A and B are shown apart, each in its own frame.
Chain A
């Protein structure tokens, strides 16, 4: 009996407490009356029907009486599942999204560094023709060939790095924009209600 009742109670847990309490009371009393009438527990369970199916039936009857509005909002108390959903979404926006955004900024700054490396020879040339400009390339030395070497090395390195990691960068940006879109869609759906 308790196994059946607990299962039933669990399956209808999302219904409003007052409705649930009254219904559960009915089933408890049904068992008691049945036992008084001389039936066996398993006989009563059999006659009642499969707990899961009965639970679905109870839920269906409840929503027949208390329909959900077209835009998805419910009249009356919000179920625990909906509340949990809301908490997860808020936590996502407040904690996870800023975190992802920080990583996003790091990735961007890495790109900037790589572009700087690629641009090293260009800056060197500019510096050669216009020494007055406040450009620092490589080491602050007058040994020109050393600077040239360094710049070429930087550019080459930048090129290799870009080639190797570009696809990861692109994949990340694509994923991140999808992630932001999903996260903020939550706010939008709430605002429209």
Chain B
């Protein structure tokens, strides 16, 4: 599937995953890949952007076995944005599905 097409969907996935529970970078990337098949490399700039847009924030926890981990947490603005995008997705996919069935 085309990367551009997936981008909006990736935002939904990322925000949806951290909606209930904070995740660190690598964990988040792996979880998104389970939902949508995508080159994992494209996710880090996306995380940075969601951060800069204040939908996500991070804190660092030292790990005993590996590098320090950036834990991502969703912000209130992030929750709002997620709800909006999810509604949008339902609308579009329903509309599109109806159309495609008729083709």
| Contact between B45 and A62, CB atoms less than 8 A apart | yes
Across-interface contacts of B42 in A (CB, < 8 A): 49, 54, 57
| Contact between B40 and A49, CB atoms less than 8 A apart | yes
| Contact between A36 and B40, CB atoms less than 8 A apart | no
Residues 13-49 of chain A: 1 if any B CB is under 8 Å from the residue's CB, otherwise 0?
0000001001100111110111011000000000111
| Contact between A36 and B65, CB atoms less than 8 A apart | yes
CB-CB contacts below 8 Å: B39-79 with A: 39-42, 44-49, 52-53, 65-70
| Interface window among B15-23, B25-33, B81-89, B91-99 | B25-33
Q: How many interface residues does chain B have, given as a range?
A: 20 to 34
- Which of B26, B39, B65 is the one whose CB lies under 8 Å from A29? B26
Total A-B pairs, Cβ < 8 A: 67
- Which of A22, A23, A32, A53 is the one whose CB lies under 8 Å from B67? A32
A58 within 8 Å of B by Cβ?
yes
A62, B68: Cα distance in complex, Å: 24
| Contact between A34 and B41, CB atoms less than 8 A apart | no
Nearest chain B residue, comparing its CB with the CB of A57? B42
Indicate whether A26 sits within 8 Å of B65 (C-beta atoms), given known contacts A34-B26, A49-B39, A53-B39.
no
Give the Cβ gap from B26 to chain A, nearest Cβ, in Å.
4
Across-interface contacts of A26 in B (CB, < 8 A): 25, 44, 47-48, 70
Nearest chain A residue, comparing its CB with the CB of B3? A57
Residues 36-80 of chain A: 1 if any B CB is under 8 Å from the residue's CB, otherwise 0?
110000000001111101100110011011000000000000000
Across-interface contacts of B25 in A (CB, < 8 A): 26, 29-30, 33
A16, B87: Cα distance in complex, Å: 36
| Contact between A33 and B26, CB atoms less than 8 A apart | yes
Nearest chain B residue, comparing its CB with the CB of A62? B45
| Contact between B41 and A22, CB atoms less than 8 A apart | no
| Contact between B67 and A48, CB atoms less than 8 A apart | no
Nearest chain A residue, comparing its CB with the CB of B66? A36
| Contact between A65 and B52, CB atoms less than 8 A apart | yes
Across-interface contacts of A27 in B (CB, < 8 A): 41, 44
A48, B43: Cα distance in complex, Å: 9
| Contact between B45 and A47, CB atoms less than 8 A apart | no
A29, B65: Cα distance in complex, Å: 12
B residues near A (Cβ < 8 Å) are 3, 25-26, 29, 33, 39-42, 44-49, 52-53, 65-70
Q: Contacts A26-B47, A48-B40, A57-B45 given; 15 further ones with Cβ under 8 A?
A: A23-B48, A26-B44, A26-B48, A27-B44, A28-B67, A30-B29, A30-B40, A33-B25, A36-B65, A37-B26, A47-B40, A48-B41, A49-B39, A54-B39, A61-B49
A residues near B (Cβ < 8 Å) are 19, 22-23, 26-30, 32-34, 36-37, 47-51, 53-54, 57-58, 61-62, 64-65
